[in-house]
Amino acid sequence: MQKRRLGNSNLEVSALGLGCMGMSFGYGPAMDKQEAIALLRTAVERGVTFFDTAEVYGPYTNEELVGEGLAPFRGQVVIATKFGFDLDPKLDPRGMKGSPGLNSRPEHIKQVAEGSLKRLRIEVIDLFYQHRVDPDVPIEDVAGAVKELIQEGKVKHFGLSEAGVQTIRRAHAVQPVTALQSEYSLWTREPEAEVLPTLEELGIGFVPFSPLGKGFLTGKIDENTKLESTDFRSTVPRFAPEARKANLALVDLLGRIAAWKQATPAQIALAWLLAQKPWIVPIPGTTKLHRLEENLGAAAVDLTLDDLGEIESAASQITVQGARYPEHLEKMTGR
């Protein structure tokens, strides 16, 4: 597996990471614990060194799973986790309705760090993201709290998630930001306008989550696919049946490119992201070993400038239908 450096930092990780949320949370029932641990360890064997979790996934259970699964590989892998929510014990299983409020007060950040260290069974958090920007806490205070954790040796790197460019600049001035994690893929391209140029200017890495469009870009979902009520995509406007039907045009495009590159639509979608910038590290999630193998195969797919031009030309003719979050969650992005 190729390695990539996140921005100007010294944080080097595998070119593709593994998003771990879906093993515990969000996409229906949690995986069998032993199967999930086997998947995590197989990912390490295949060269993955970058794993993404958060205290809110579960809550708590995903960090515990990642901590147990990666325990034999201390020092060989980079684990990213996140703070920033007030966890409500009445959390809806989809993490949506009645979802937790925001809390990035400095004392809360430090409490979360202590809990995450224990659950992850580590001495230091490699990358600690603010999960969503908290409008009630100045970002300078958030960055200052993480700076103190770094000085105490409890955190190595500071990250932001779904932050807007002014927030990124203000945070970076207090404590250098190593990575921004936001949604980015061929069907979610908003970061291209302002965010990517800002990250390039400041030397910050980019970690796209949902790089396969929450599974849609694999080509395995159409307007007739049944989404269970425990699957949070059932609340997402972009996954409404009529939106799915319209958005299949993008999947058809990936399928055409995949056919002549002897790859799969998912591999083309990931290879496209990898080709955008050398400091982009996508974190596709999966619960299946064969999907893990397929996703990692994307690192070997070489898209030429002509290929990229053809994808760009065709994609520009397609208008993606539907918002990427329900309204109350959409409000938490781009602050």
Question: Which residues, at least 6 apart from 104, have a Cβ–Cβ distance to it below 8 Å?
Answer: 83, 84, 130, 133, 134, 137, 141, 142
Catalytic residue among 27, 57, 184, 325: 57
Respond yes or no on whether the N-terminal peptide bond of residue 237 is cis (omega within 30° of 0): no
Type of residue found at 97: K
Give yes or no: 184 in active site. no
φ, ψ of residue 38 in degrees (nearest 5): -60, -40
Q: Alpha-carbon distance 206 to 182, whole Å?
A: 8
Q: Is 83:117 a contact under the CB 8 Å cutoff? A: no
Q: At what angle do helices 61-69 and 106-120 cross, to 10 degrees?
A: 40
Q: Which amino acid type is present at position 321?
A: Q
DSSP-derived letter for residue 207 is E
Other CB atoms closer than 10 Å to residue 220's CB: what's the count? 13
CB atoms within 10 A of CB 176: 18
DSSP letter for each residue of 61-120: HHHHHHHHHTGGGTTTSEEEEEE-EE--TT--TTS-TT--EE---HHHHHHHHHHHHHHH
Q: Are strands 50-52 and 78-83 parallel, antiparallel or unpaired?
A: parallel
Instruction: Give me the numbers of helices (H) and strands (E) for the chain, helices first please.
Output: 11, 11
Active site residues: 57
